[in-house]
Every structure is written in structure tokens, then in C-alpha cells.
Amino acid sequence: MIDAKRARKAFMSAEASKVFAEDVERKREMNDDEGADGGMSAERLRAFREEVRRFGAAGLSKWDRQELETERLIELGMKPKKAPRMAPSLGLGLNKANEKREEAKRQEMFALGYKLEKKSKKGNDGAKDRDRGLAWGDSTFSNGVLKVKKRDMVNADKFVDTKAMLRSGPSGRGGSSGGKKKSGKKKAGRKSKR
């Protein structure tokens, strides 16, 4: 509110500094309300950022929203929520359903003209054929020396091919040799599970 009498006196004054003094004070007050950054205080700017963040989170998927919420909780110094414990059989089913959904989404994006991304390959394929090293029974390896027991030396011919040793059966593969199945009289009693 402007005091009219005071303003008139200041205007009629011979000193120019008195004439403009009130305007300078009013500008200072306005600048205190507003920040240095385009007329916004730091608190107001922070509030706008949070509002934009919340608005953006509304368009995210459930998992992305949950991840954002977890980040926010950590930022505030709180413990993030733990996911509920789920039975492995249910988890596998959900994972398969998610993979199918992602594949369908991938194909849909390709149909719309987007570049088709390559699927990531699982790196477990090469692990099966890898050499397992020395498979010498109960021997121990310490300080660069392999200490072999006597009974392992007697049966050394079994341990030559480490890959073959890990497989079961004479052919190197599990199960039967592939010949005819034995047929004969079966004993009465409990049925075997096959």
C-alpha cells in the first residue's frame, strides 16, 4: 500500500534518491519472494519438479512405477518395500508370460516399422561342454601341488577323460544304449514310476 502523503513529499524533494527510494524498496521485496531463476524460489521450483515427476510416473508401467517409488524411498533414507514371496512354480509361469508379452510387443513394434531388436542370448550354452579340469576323485590341490590318494592312482584309467567321467553310462550319454528293450516276466507288486 502506498502512503500518498509520503509519496508526494518524496516526489517534491530536491534529492533524486528520495524520489526513487520507495520503488527500490518495493523491488527488493518482490525479489525476496521470487528466486534468481526466472522469478521462482528454490522451494517453488522443487515443488514443480516433484509435480512433473509424479505426472510422468502416471504413464509408466507397474514395474517402472515401482522402481521409481523404490528410488524415491532410498532418496528419503527409508527402506524400500520388499516384493512379496512367491512360489517358484508361480514365478516361472509369470516369467514365461512376461517373455511372451515382450515378444508380442517386439513383433508389434516391427510391424509398425520400428527396427527389430535382437533378442539377448543366454550364456549358459557353453558351460556344459567346458572342460572341468582334473577330476581326480578325492585328491586335493594346494600350493601348486596336486596331492593324489593311492586308491585314485589304482583307478587312474577311469579318470583320463574328464568329460566322459562326468557323464553316466558306458556310451557317455545317460540312459540306455539304444538297443532292444528287455522283455520278460514282470514281478508283481508296486508299479515303478516312469
pLDDT tens-digit readout, 65-92: 888 888 888 988 998 888 788 888 888 9
pLDDT tens-digit readout, 32-71: 655 555 667 888 888 888 888 878 877 888 888 888 888 8
| Residue 90 pLDDT | 87
Tell me the C-alpha distance between 150 and 147, whole Å: 10
| Residue 57 pLDDT | 78
Q: pLDDT band for position 128 (50/70/90)?
A: low
The domain ranges of the chain are 134-166
Identify which of 159, 119, 113 has the alpha carbon closest to the alpha carbon of residue 136: 159
- Cβ–Cβ under 8 Å, residues 144 and 137: no
Measure the N-to-C terminal CA separation of the chain; round to a whole number of Å.
Answer: 96
pLDDT tens-digit readout, 94-104: 999 999 999 99
| Residue 101 pLDDT | 94
Alpha-carbon torsion angle 25, 26, 28, 31, nearest 10:
180
Rg (C-alpha) for the chain, rounded Å, is 39
pLDDT tens-digit readout, 134-167: 555 677 778 888 888 887 777 766 655 555 545 5
| Residue 19 pLDDT | 60
